[in-house]
Structure 1
Amino acid sequence: MNRTTHPPGGRPVLDRSGAVTAAPLPARTPSRRRPRPRSQQWAAWAFLAPVTLYLALFYAYPLYRNLDLSLRNYTVRSFVQGDAPFTGLKNYETVFQDPAFGPALVHTVVFTAVCLVFQYVIGLALAVFFHQHFRLSATLRALFLVPWLLPLIVSASTWSWMLNSDSGIVNAALHAIGIGPVNWLTSPSWSLTSVIIANIWIGVPFNLVVLYSGLQSIPSSLYEAAALDGAGAWRRFRSVTFPLLRPVSAITLLLGLVYTLKVFDIIWIMTKGGPADSSTTFATWSYQLGFGNLLPAFGPGAAVGNLLVVAALVFGLVYLRVQRKQALA
């Protein structure tokens, strides 16, 4: 008995010679997505409009104005009338050739790096400490948040009083243990250290909160398994806690970097960038150029501000690149 096979492509049919062929399949019309109703489109734009307006008014426009200021020769008169001549990169050349550029750059790097390291290390140590869930842990955690909740002007004023050379409590404590007074705010050798100490005190609670939240997401079963394998406290921290905290640590350091680069209030209230520009950073220098003189230099001041924006943007792009590599690994 002969078996007829059905060729692929459609149902079998017989042609004139008796051979079995496949009938062509009917052409399929491409499926088209049904257009969204106009009401849904308007609803989507209505939800996007507030965010778009906010970004345009408070991010895009200020950045554009700051860039425009740095590319023109603005005076008080032209700032009001808006007829400042275009000068290109001349303001940036003025900033780079200024004798204050080198010291301000060094102070900015030292201030940012030292604050980041100490804020992260102290914040991580406190987060691990409070992760033990001992008695009064929640109360002590709340007390550690006080520096973060206080207005910056209050914190900076308090540190100015504490570090006062004549009546400060810090020098009083040093005198009690036999150490002579230190001119914390009036000595070029100590002014930068003073503002660093104050900024570390203010920034530690932020690191504590974020890192403590990251520790809460680590399963306790991992610590139990490590303890069963004989791992001590330091071994558990090095092999379990620290590796699993890397994503949280990265975003904590990035946010801390962006915040520290633009710190102005603390330095200006405590030392005003002095004495002899010994605690001047890019943030305070930009303010001094634009608003601290009788003849303000709006263009160079905006150029210094743009350097801070570029620095923050570079580190943000580096963070995104590292995160993308880790996601693909």
Structure 2
Amino acid sequence: MNHTTKLQAHRPTVARSGAAAAPPPARSAKRRITSTQWAAWAFLAPVTVYLALFYAYPLYRNLDLSLRDYTVRSFVQGDAPFTGLANYRKVFADPTFVPALLHTAVFTAVCLVFQYAIGLALAVFFNQHFRLSATLRALFLVPWLLPLIVSASTWSWMLSSESGVVNAALHAVGIGPVNWLTSPSWSLTSVIIANIWIGVPFNLVVLYSGLQSIPASLYEAAAIDGANAWQRFWRVTFPLLRPVSAITLLLGLVYTLKVFDIIWIMTKGGPADSSTTFATWSYQLGFGNLLPAFGPGAAVGNLLVVAALVFGLVYVRVQRKQGLS
């Protein structure tokens, strides 16, 4: 009886001691989780603030500009009336809209095709690792490293109708001068050539890095199977470069859509709007007149944002399908 009583007397003590010993680990774990969460938020805070200040807020302001009738006075005082989609309707009805849309599409498509094709050809060429390969590769990076204002000014001088070296070279082979920058037939071609020259090094660097990740054993196996150089490129190199090519084309697309410096410095969108794109048109509407049209200019800028967003979503969807397959 005494033994049973002792056991019963000890049971609550054990239970109480066990219950008393269990909470400290739970509280310490909770404190560890909380401190870890605070540390994570502390690391995320700079990025969050940066995105909010330099991305989210400008996008919000641009959207607000496009939905209100802003003048210089109302822009300062902040009392612009809400007009809804009136600015977008004004942009779509403007006679400049269709030419600017066509120029933007042609400029973007031609630049992307030639930048990617030339960059891929140079990447395959430099992948042979011949003597002076690294030196020549570094020289090809010069157009990418130069400030855009320097590159655009250089091309403006080279394509000048009176004193340009391009017309001088054409004259040397018996071809008459071409009004590269002052002719509506050639102005868009001129800015396309300049932008291709600037964008090729980026494609070269990214695609060359992608080539470095392809195992040499695959080329050796293809050569043993009797594949020639073209077949090795088409059956081995090109398929394995698809992920790198996709991101290269997407980044090139986003960059080319918003190209402004080259066109504005070389032609200012002219003559007669022959080289006007959405980027230059948006600037002309918002800042190029004595009476700026902030609302329509912001609307044109938002069209560029939507176009880049659509292509980005298409890229994400394609990548997801490839990952599932």
**Fold shared, TM-score > 0.5 on shorter chain:** yes
Residue by residue, what CA displacement relative to the aligned partner does 1:279-324 show, whole Å, maximum 9, x if unpaired?
Answer: 0000000000000000000000000000000000000000000000
1:216 equivalenced with 2:212 (yes/no): yes
Q: Report the RMSD for the aligned CA atoms in angstroms.
A: 1.0
Amino acid paired to 1:227:
A
TM-score normalized by the length of structure 1: 0.90
Give the corresponding residue for 1:191.
187
Deviation at 1:232, TM superposition (A): 0.5
Distance in 1 (CA, whole Å) between partners of 2:129 and 2:159 is 35
Give the corresponding residue for 2:289.
293
Give the corresponding residue for 1:252.
248
The structure 2 residue matched to 1:92, chosen from 72, 88, 91, is 88
Give the corresponding residue for 2:73.
77
Give the corresponding residue for 1:45.
41
Distance in 1 (CA, whole Å) between partners of 2:59 and 2:194 is 30
Residues 121-160 of structure 1: matches in 2 within 5 Å?
A: 121-160=117-156
Matched residues, number: 298
Give the corresponding residue for 2:19.
none
Residue by residue, what CA displacement relative to the aligned partner does 1:249-273 show, whole Å, maximum 9, x if unpaired?
Answer: 0000000000000000000000000
Distance in 2 (CA, whole Å) between partners of 1:184 and 1:48 is 50
Residue by residue, what CA displacement relative to the aligned partner does 1:184-207 show, whole Å, maximum 9, x if unpaired?
Answer: 000000000000000000000000
Distance in 2 (CA, whole Å) between partners of 1:91 and 1:58 is 24
Evaluate the alpha carbon distance shift between residue 36 and residue 220 of structure 1 in structure 2; reply closer, same or farther with a 3 A threshold: farther
Distance in 1 (CA, whole Å) between partners of 2:31 and 2:193 is 58
Q: Which has the higher helix share?
A: 2
1:243 equivalenced with 2:239 (yes/no): yes
Give the corresponding residue for 1:28.
none
Distance in 2 (CA, whole Å) between partners of 1:231 and 1:271 is 48
SS in 2 for 1:99: coil
TM-score normalized by the length of structure 2: 0.91
Give the corresponding residue for 2:316.
320
Amino acid paired to 2:176:
G
Which structure has more relative contact order (CA 8 Å, sep 6+)? It is: 2
Residues 18-57 of structure 1: matches in 2 within 5 Å?
A: 34-37=29-32, 38-57=34-53
Distance in 2 (CA, whole Å) between partners of 1:80 and 1:256 is 36
SS in 2 for 1:321: helix
Amino acid paired to 2:306:
V
Deviation at 1:36, TM superposition (A): 4.9
Residue by residue, what CA displacement relative to the aligned partner does 1:105-137 show, whole Å, maximum 9, x if unpaired?
Answer: 000000000000000000000000000000000
Identity of aligned residues (%): 90
Distance in 2 (CA, whole Å) between partners of 1:107 and 1:280 is 7
Distance in 2 (CA, whole Å) between partners of 1:157 and 1:35 is 62
Mind listing any 5+ residue stretches in structure 2 that lack a counterpart? 1-25
Evaluate the alpha carbon distance shift between residue 184 and residue 132 of structure 1 in structure 2; reply closer, same or farther with a 3 A threshold: same
1:105 equivalenced with 2:86 (yes/no): no
Give the corresponding residue for 2:278.
282
Residue by residue, what CA displacement relative to the aligned partner does 1:166-191 show, whole Å, maximum 9, x if unpaired?
Answer: 00000000000000000000000000
Distance in 1 (CA, whole Å) between partners of 2:249 and 2:70 is 36
1:172 equivalenced with 2:168 (yes/no): yes
Distance in 2 (CA, whole Å) between partners of 1:91 and 1:205 is 39
Give the corresponding residue for 2:268.
272
Amino acid paired to 2:88:
Y
SS in 1 for 2:30: coil
